[in-house]
């Protein structure tokens, strides 16, 4: 696995300045795009989604220009011909919550209900059909995921789940929650595992964004029809764990 950037030897003034510009851009543009998404509440979902996707593209472009941080995707051939599926993705930073919007087709994600209470940005997020849960209420959260997740999948909207439940630092491991795999068991939609090393450059608790190229690896489709959630989860976890050793 790529070593953390704690020993960064580049231009630290540029590092701090670039990270600051990215932060400012994220905050100001979120406040700008939020009202636009809210105004589009009466328009089709695809319109609101496209507006949010433009913001995502802007943020990733800013990260590249200001921070020297780019990304590449491997394994896109695995999702060719897949109409809709459930993405089980490694969770290390905020990067993947943003970038997956560009990498995969139109989608929703399982997220914390509290995020929707953030003024403007959270209200706009609520317009994008998120599957919002209260993690302190596990049984109720699972019911919401299964019900809303199926509805989205049937509508042709991909569902993104971070089975670790929280951001995990590079080199650390956390047991996968079974919610995403259970959704796959109940619906029969395929699972696509995703690994990446974003935490090496865009740390979960760091203001700084280090230059480099994040690698996002998309794994082979995991068929789920007639299989138990435990088996699906184990296969996804094993593939991601192996892929992480190769990054």
Which domains does the chain show, CATH number per domain?
A: 70-246 (3.40.1130.10)
Q: What are the mean pLDDT values of the chain's consecutive 10-residue runs (247 residues total)?
A: 59 94 95 90 91 95 97 97 97 96 96 90 91 90 96 97 93 92 97 97 92 97 96 97 95
Distance between CA atoms of residues 125 and 150, nearest Å: 20
pLDDT attached to residue 6: 55
Query: How far is Cα 88 from Cα 111, in angstroms, rounded to an integer?
Result: 13
Q: How many CB atoms lie within 10 A of CB 204?
A: 16
Assess contact for 161 and 89: CB atoms under 8 A: yes
Matching residue, tokens 């997956």: 100
Residue 3: what pLDDT? 44
Residue whose C-alpha is closest to residue 14's, from 210, 188, 223: 210
Q: What pLDDT is recorded for position 10?
A: 83
Alpha helix positions (H), the chain: 12-39, 45-67, 95-103, 121-125, 138-154, 179-187, 229-246
The phi-psi region of residue 161 (left if phi > 0; otherwise alpha if psi is between -120 and 50; otherwise beta) is: beta
At 9 the pLDDT is 76
Q: Where are the beta strands (DSSP E) in 42-106?
A: 69-74, 86-89
Q: How many residues does the chain have?
A: 247
Q: What is the pLDDT of residue 7?
A: 63
Tokens of 52: 């949010």
Q: State residue 2's pLDDT score.
A: 42
- Torsion over CA: 230, 232, 234, 237 (sign): negative
What is the DSSP code (8-state) at residue 243?
H
- Considering Cα of 43, then 45, then 50, then 55, what sign does the dihedral take? positive
| Res 219: pLDDT | 98
User: Which tens digit of pLDDT belongs to each residue from 144-191?
Assistant: 999 999 999 999 999 999 999 899 999 888 999 999 999 999 999 999
pLDDT of residue 121: 87
């Amino acid at each position: 696995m790529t070593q953390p950037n704690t020993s960064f030897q580049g231009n630290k003034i540029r590092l701090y300045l670039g990270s600051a510009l990215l932060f400012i851009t994220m905050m100001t543009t979120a406040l700008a795009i939020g009202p636009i998404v809210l105004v589009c509440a009466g328009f089709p979902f695809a319109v609101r989604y496209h507006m949010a996707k433009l913001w995502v593209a802007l943020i990733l472009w800013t990260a590249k220009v200001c921070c020297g941080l780019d990304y590449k995707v491997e394994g896109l051939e695995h999702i060719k011909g897949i109409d809709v599926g459930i993405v089980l993705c490694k969770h290390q930073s905020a990067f993947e919550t943003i970038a997956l919007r560009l990498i995969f087709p139109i989608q929703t994600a399982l997220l914390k209900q509290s995020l929707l209470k953030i003024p403007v940005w959270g209200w706009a997020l609520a317009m994008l059909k998120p599957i919002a849960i209260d993690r302190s209420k596990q049984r109720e959260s699972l019911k919401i995921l299964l019900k809303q997740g199926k509805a989205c999948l049937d509508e042709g909207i991909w569902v993104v789940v971070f089975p670790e439940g929280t951001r995990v630092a590079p080199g650390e491991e956390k047991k996968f929650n079974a919610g995403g795999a259970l959704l796959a068991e109940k619906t029969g939609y395929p699972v696509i595992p995703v690994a990446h090393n974003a935490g090496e450059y865009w740390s979960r608790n760091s203001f700084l964004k280090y230059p480099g190229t994040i690698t996002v690896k998309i794994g082979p489709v995991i068929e789920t029809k007639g299989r138990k959630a435990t088996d699906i989860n184990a296969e996804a976890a094993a593939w991601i764990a192996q892929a992480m050793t190769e990054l």
